[in-house]
């Protein structure tokens, strides 16, 4: 269903009316397209504190189509609007140097172009230095607050890292139209020891790789399958037998393979392995259901069916495909959580429990899967996404879901798909055990 309010605010009368009434004024977001795959303009590199990072080679990436303004260089903000800003605050170790974050961004924020990006770089909090840990944690509150006030489709995110080279894939995602609906997030990038090398072609990073997407017949799953295919993957589309006709249509359009089976079956993992004798590189757990009702009115069947599809099947199939060697070294597991699992939601104790369980799975399995199998495990946590399911939500609840985020609008299935594709990239081997919300920086939850 179209967002008529967003369309209204894109007109002159609509902007005038909503401004006079003090209503949200969402900006139409710039997303990836074949015609405009990159942000284009100036990338401003700023610093706060004394940094040991060598960012210049990474920020000068040709694939970003950005004109790097190096740290210490002047930029006339009265005539030029940077489309992206990277603030290196990894050297912030005390309250005095934390003030340099304000000094660096205060004169710049107003000049950032519409739908622009601000990425703040921090260091992992040091448990042996409580001053450094305090101010580095302070960056999290700073980034989330700035993201809620900056407006005009602009986003602010925090990346914690120690090795700039390991973050190339993350920079390519956050400093591009692909991350249009990702804001207020804290992403930790490892030291790159797990990296097996950057893709030969960043426009087709998944070339030669096989990806399985569950729940692929429609909605977010269909968008994920299409985006992975765009990035070069051979896509295996999985859904329940009842959706076999739609599933075959999706797979056929993408040049992929349809696999109709019930993911909750005890032998689902074995059947997937049989269908993929040459192995699997990317496993996307997208299948999910809701059976909403307040706990006092929720029969056991509504509880168990949601937990079985959304969590138990993910645990069983992941275990089977890892233990059996179907997931090859260098592989990626991407599961679908939800902001309901982070913030909770009335009437969804079953759904929230299942999605919080995905968060627990990712945090616990990520480090072990990497060390034992060479596989990373991450999750996307969507907020309000425009799908057929949310189109059926009552009007006022639907409008609240759309407006209660920093971008004042719902996301699209492709926003979840782009984040999934970033996790799935062979260049993202240093990103592991992460849960990234795709929610326009929802006002609910952390």
Per-residue 3-state assignment (H helix, E strand, C coil) for 174-243: HCCHHHCCCCCCEEECCCCCCCCCCCCCCCCCCCCCEEEEECCCCHHHHHHHHHHHHCCCEEEEEECHHH
Q: Does 12 reside within a domain? A: no
DSSP string, 262-296: -TTSTTHHHHHHHH-TT-EEEEEE---------GG
Does residue 425 share a domain with residue 290? yes
- pLDDT score at 194: 45
- Domain that residue 95 falls in: 25-188
Q: How high is the pLDDT of residue 7?
A: 87
Residue 286 and residue 431 in one domain: yes
What stretches of 150-237 show up as alpha helix (H) in DSSP?
168-174, 219-230
Residue pair 93/135 in contact by the 8 Å Cβ criterion: yes
Residue that finishes a domain, picked among 158, 188, 218: 188
Structural domain includes residue 13 = no
Final residue in a domain of this structure, among 154, 188, 222: 188
* Residue 293 neighbours by CB under 8 Å, 6+ apart: 302, 347
pLDDT of the chain, 446 residues: tens digit per residue = 678 888 888 888 888 888 888 888 889 999 999 999 999 999 999 999 999 999 988 998 867 888 888 877 777 787 789 999 999 999 999 999 999 999 999 999 999 999 999 999 999 999 999 999 999 999 999 999 999 999 999 999 999 999 999 999 999 999 999 999 999 999 999 986 545 568 989 999 999 999 999 999 999 999 999 999 999 999 999 999 999 999 999 999 999 999 999 999 999 999 999 999 999 999 999 999 999 999 999 999 999 999 999 999 999 999 999 999 999 999 999 999 999 999 999 999 999 999 999 999 999 999 999 999 999 999 999 999 998 877 777 777 888 888 999 999 999 999 999 999 999 999 999 999 999 999 999 987 65
Nearest to 421 by CA among 225, 197, 279: 225
* Tally of CA atoms within 13 A in the half-sphere of 281 that contains its CB: 20
Shared-domain flag, residues 129 and 247? no
The CA distance from 234 to 222, in Å, is: 14
> How high is the pLDDT of residue 283?
98
Which residue is associated with the tokens 């944690």?
Answer: 137
Q: What pLDDT, on a 0 to 100 scale, did the predictor assign at position 433? A: 98
Catalytic sites, residue numbers: 351
Query: Does some domain include residue 194?
Result: no
Token pair for 166 = 């390991």
199 located within any domain: no
Same domain, yes or no: 135 and 273: no
Q: Are residues 173 and 135 part of one domain?
A: yes
Residue 5 lies in a domain: no
C-alpha gyration radius of the chain: 22
As a residue count, the chain comes to 446
Domain match, 164 and 218 both: no
Residue 416 lies in a domain: yes
In the structure encoding, which two tokens stand for residue 319, read together?
A: 């275990």
User: What CA–CA distance (Å, rounded) separates 31 from 207?
Assistant: 22
d(CA 31, CA 411): 11
Say yes or no: 409 and 277 in one domain.
yes
Q: Are 163 and 131 in contact (CB under 8 A)?
A: no
Q: Across the strands, what pairs with 333?
A: 283, 377
- For residues 294 and 413, membership in a common domain is answered with yes
- Round to whole Å and give the CA distance between 141 and 133: 13
**240 and 175 share a domain?**
no
The domain spanning residue 358 has which CATH number? 3.40.50.720
DSSP structure string for 386-404: -SHHHHTS-HHHHHHHHHS
**CB contact at 8 A, 38 and 32:** no
Whether residues 377 and 269 fall in one domain? yes
Distance of CA 12 to the CA centre of its chain: 33
Q: What is the pTM of this model?
A: 0.95
Into how many domains does the chain fold? 2
Do 157 and 244 fall into the same domain? no
**DSSP secondary-structure letter at 385?**
B
Tokens 């804290």: give the residue: 186
Q: Are residues 291 and 371 in the same domain?
A: yes
């Amino acid at each position: 269903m179209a967002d008529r309010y967003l369309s209204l605010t894109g007109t002159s009368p609509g902007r005038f009316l909503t401004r006079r009434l003090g209503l949200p004024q969402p900006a139409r977001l710039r997303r990836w397209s074949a015609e405009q795959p990159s942000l284009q303009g100036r990338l401003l590199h700023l610093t706060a504190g004394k940094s040991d990072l060598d960012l210049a080679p990474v920020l000068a990436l040709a694939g970003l189509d950005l004109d790097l303004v190096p740290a210490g260089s002047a930029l006339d903000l009265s005539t030029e609007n940077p489309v992206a800003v990277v603030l290196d605050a990894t050297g912030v170790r005390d309250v005095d140097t934390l003030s340099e974050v304000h000094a660096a961004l205060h004169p710049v924020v107003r000049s950032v172009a519409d739908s622009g990006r601000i990425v703040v770089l921090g260091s992992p909090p040091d448990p042996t230095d409580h001053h450094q840990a305090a101010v580095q944690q302070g960056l999290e509150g700073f980034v989330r607050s700035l993201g809620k006030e900056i407006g005009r489709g602009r986003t602010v995110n925090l990346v914690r890292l120690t090795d700039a080279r390991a973050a190339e894939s993350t920079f390519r995602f956050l400093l591009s139209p692909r991350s249009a609906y990702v804001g207020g997030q804290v992403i930790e990038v490892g030291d790159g020891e797990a990296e097996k090398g950057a893709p030969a072609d960043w426009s087709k990073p998944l070339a030669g790789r096989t990806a399985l997407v569950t729940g692929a017949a429609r909605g977010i799953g269909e968008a994920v399958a299409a985006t992975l295919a765009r990035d070069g993957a051979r896509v295996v589309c999985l859904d329940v037998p009842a959706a076999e006709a739609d599933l075959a249509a999706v797979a056929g359009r993408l040049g992929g393979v349809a696999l109709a089976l019930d993911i909750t079956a005890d032998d689902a993992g074995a059947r997937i392995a049989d269908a993929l004798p040459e192995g699997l590189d990317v496993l996307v757990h997208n299948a999910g259901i809701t059976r909403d009702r307040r706990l006092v009115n929720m029969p056991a069947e509504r509880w168990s069916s949601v937990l079985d599809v959304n969590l138990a099947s993910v645990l069983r199939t992941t275990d089977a495909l890892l233990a059996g060697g179907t997931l090859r070294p260098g592989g990626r597991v991407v599961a679908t959580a939800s902001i309901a699992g982070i913030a909770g939601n009335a009437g969804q104790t079953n759904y929230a429990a299942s999605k919080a369980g995905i968060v627990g799975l990712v945090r616990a399995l990520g480090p072990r899967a990497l060390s034992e199998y060479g596989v990373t495990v991450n999750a996307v946590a969507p907020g309000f996404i425009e799908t057929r399911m949310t189109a059926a939500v009552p009007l006022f609840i639907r409008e609240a879901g759309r407006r209660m985020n920093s971008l004042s609008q719902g996301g699209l299935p492709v926003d979840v798909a782009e984040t999934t594709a970033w996790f799935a990239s062979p260049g993202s081997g240093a990103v592991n055990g992460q849960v990234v919300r795709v929610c326009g920086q929802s006002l609910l939850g952390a």
